[in-house]
Protein backbone atom coordinates (compact mmCIF):
# COMPACT_ATOMS: atom_id res chain seq x y z
CA UNK A 1 0.00 0.00 0.00
CA UNK A 2 1.31 3.40 -0.93
CA UNK A 3 -0.16 5.38 1.88
CA UNK A 4 -2.46 4.50 4.73
CA UNK A 5 -4.85 7.13 5.94
CA UNK A 6 -7.38 7.32 8.70
CA UNK A 7 -10.01 6.17 6.23
CA UNK A 8 -8.03 3.01 5.46
CA UNK A 9 -8.33 2.05 9.11
CA UNK A 10 -11.99 3.13 9.25
CA UNK A 11 -12.81 0.81 6.33
CA UNK A 12 -10.95 -2.00 8.06
CA UNK A 13 -12.72 -1.35 11.38
CA UNK A 14 -16.11 -1.21 9.67
CA UNK A 15 -15.43 -4.53 7.96
CA UNK A 16 -14.39 -6.17 11.21
CA UNK A 17 -17.46 -4.83 13.05
CA UNK A 18 -19.87 -5.93 10.33
CA UNK A 19 -18.29 -9.39 10.22
CA UNK A 20 -18.47 -9.69 14.00
CA UNK A 21 -22.13 -8.67 14.00
CA UNK A 22 -23.00 -11.08 11.20
CA UNK A 23 -21.34 -14.04 12.94
CA UNK A 24 -22.14 -12.91 16.50
CA UNK A 25 -25.91 -13.05 16.13
CA UNK A 26 -26.82 -16.56 14.95
CA UNK A 27 -30.56 -15.82 14.92
CA UNK A 28 -30.34 -13.17 12.18
CA UNK A 29 -32.22 -13.82 8.97
CA UNK A 30 -30.04 -15.17 6.19
CA UNK A 31 -30.75 -12.13 4.01
CA UNK A 32 -29.60 -9.70 6.68
CA UNK A 33 -26.56 -11.80 7.48
CA UNK A 34 -25.65 -11.92 3.79
CA UNK A 35 -26.11 -8.15 3.51
CA UNK A 36 -23.79 -7.56 6.46
CA UNK A 37 -21.15 -9.92 5.08
CA UNK A 38 -21.30 -8.35 1.61
CA UNK A 39 -20.92 -4.88 3.12
CA UNK A 40 -17.98 -6.15 5.19
CA UNK A 41 -16.39 -7.53 2.02
CA UNK A 42 -16.88 -4.23 0.22
CA UNK A 43 -15.30 -2.49 3.20
CA UNK A 44 -12.26 -4.79 3.04
CA UNK A 45 -11.93 -4.16 -0.69
CA UNK A 46 -12.19 -0.40 -0.10
CA UNK A 47 -9.42 -0.71 2.48
CA UNK A 48 -7.15 -2.43 -0.04
CA UNK A 49 -7.87 -0.05 -2.93
CA UNK A 50 -7.88 3.13 -0.84
CA UNK A 51 -4.73 4.69 -2.44
CA UNK A 52 -6.15 4.09 -5.92
CA UNK A 53 -9.46 5.66 -4.82
CA UNK A 54 -7.59 8.73 -3.54
CA UNK A 55 -5.81 9.25 -6.86
CA UNK A 56 -9.04 8.86 -8.84
CA UNK A 57 -10.81 11.34 -6.56
CA UNK A 58 -8.08 13.95 -7.05
CA UNK A 59 -8.12 13.38 -10.82
CA UNK A 60 -11.93 13.70 -10.96
CA UNK A 61 -11.84 16.82 -8.79
CA UNK A 62 -9.30 18.57 -11.00
CA UNK A 63 -11.55 18.01 -14.02
CA UNK A 64 -14.84 19.00 -12.37
CA UNK A 65 -14.13 21.32 -9.49
CA UNK A 66 -17.42 22.08 -7.79
CA UNK A 67 -19.55 19.12 -8.79
CA UNK A 68 -17.52 16.59 -6.79
CA UNK A 69 -18.13 18.20 -3.38
CA UNK A 70 -21.77 18.93 -4.14
CA UNK A 71 -22.39 15.39 -5.38
CA UNK A 72 -20.72 13.85 -2.33
CA UNK A 73 -22.70 16.05 0.06
CA UNK A 74 -25.96 15.20 -1.68
CA UNK A 75 -25.30 11.47 -1.57
CA UNK A 76 -24.42 11.61 2.14
CA UNK A 77 -27.49 13.70 2.92
CA UNK A 78 -29.83 11.49 0.91
CA UNK A 79 -28.43 8.34 2.49
CA UNK A 80 -28.95 9.74 5.98
CA UNK A 81 -32.50 10.90 5.21
CA UNK A 82 -33.51 7.56 3.67
CA UNK A 83 -31.90 5.72 6.57
CA UNK A 84 -33.77 7.72 9.21
CA UNK A 85 -37.00 7.29 7.26
CA UNK A 86 -36.60 3.52 7.15
CA UNK A 87 -35.65 3.33 10.82
CA UNK A 88 -38.75 5.32 11.75
CA UNK A 89 -41.03 3.22 9.58
CA UNK A 90 -39.70 -0.02 11.08
CA UNK A 91 -39.94 1.27 14.68
CA UNK A 92 -36.18 1.11 15.30
CA UNK A 93 -36.08 -2.69 15.35
CA UNK A 94 -32.79 -4.54 15.63
CA UNK A 95 -33.03 -5.70 12.01
CA UNK A 96 -33.54 -2.12 10.81
CA UNK A 97 -30.56 -0.89 12.80
CA UNK A 98 -28.35 -3.65 11.40
CA UNK A 99 -29.48 -2.81 7.85
CA UNK A 100 -28.34 0.74 8.51
CA UNK A 101 -24.87 -0.49 9.48
CA UNK A 102 -24.50 -2.04 6.05
CA UNK A 103 -25.00 1.43 4.49
CA UNK A 104 -22.18 3.03 6.44
CA UNK A 105 -19.77 2.13 3.65
CA UNK A 106 -21.57 4.58 1.35
CA UNK A 107 -21.36 7.45 3.82
CA UNK A 108 -17.75 6.64 4.66
CA UNK A 109 -16.69 6.57 1.00
CA UNK A 110 -18.22 9.93 0.17
CA UNK A 111 -16.95 11.48 3.42
CA UNK A 112 -13.47 10.43 2.38
CA UNK A 113 -14.08 12.07 -0.97
CA UNK A 114 -14.88 15.38 0.74
CA UNK A 115 -11.83 15.14 3.01
CA UNK A 116 -9.51 14.46 0.06
CA UNK A 117 -10.91 17.45 -1.80
CA UNK A 118 -10.45 19.71 1.23
CA UNK A 119 -6.83 18.56 1.49
CA UNK A 120 -6.23 19.31 -2.19
CA UNK A 121 -7.75 22.76 -1.74
CA UNK A 122 -5.56 23.51 1.29
CA UNK A 123 -2.42 22.48 -0.65
CA UNK A 124 -3.14 24.89 -3.49
Q: What is the pLDDT of residues 34-73, one digit of tens each?
A: 999 999 999 999 988 888 888 887 887 777 666 778 888 9
Nearby residues of 76 by Cβ (< 8 Å), 6 or more positions away: 107, 110, 111, 114
Judged against a pLDDT cut of 90, whether residue 16 lies above it is answered with yes
Helix (H) or strand (E) segment spanning residue 112: helix 104-123
pTM (whole model) above 0.95: no
Q: In whole angstroms, what is the distance from residue 69 CA to residue 103 CA? A: 20
Q: In whole angstroms, what is the distance from residue 97 CA to residue 2 CA? A: 35
Nearby residues of 107 by Cβ (< 8 Å), 6 or more positions away: 76, 79, 80
Amino acid sequence: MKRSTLFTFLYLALGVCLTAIAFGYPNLSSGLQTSLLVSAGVSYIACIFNPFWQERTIHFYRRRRNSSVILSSLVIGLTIIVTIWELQSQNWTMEAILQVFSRLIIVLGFAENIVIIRQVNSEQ
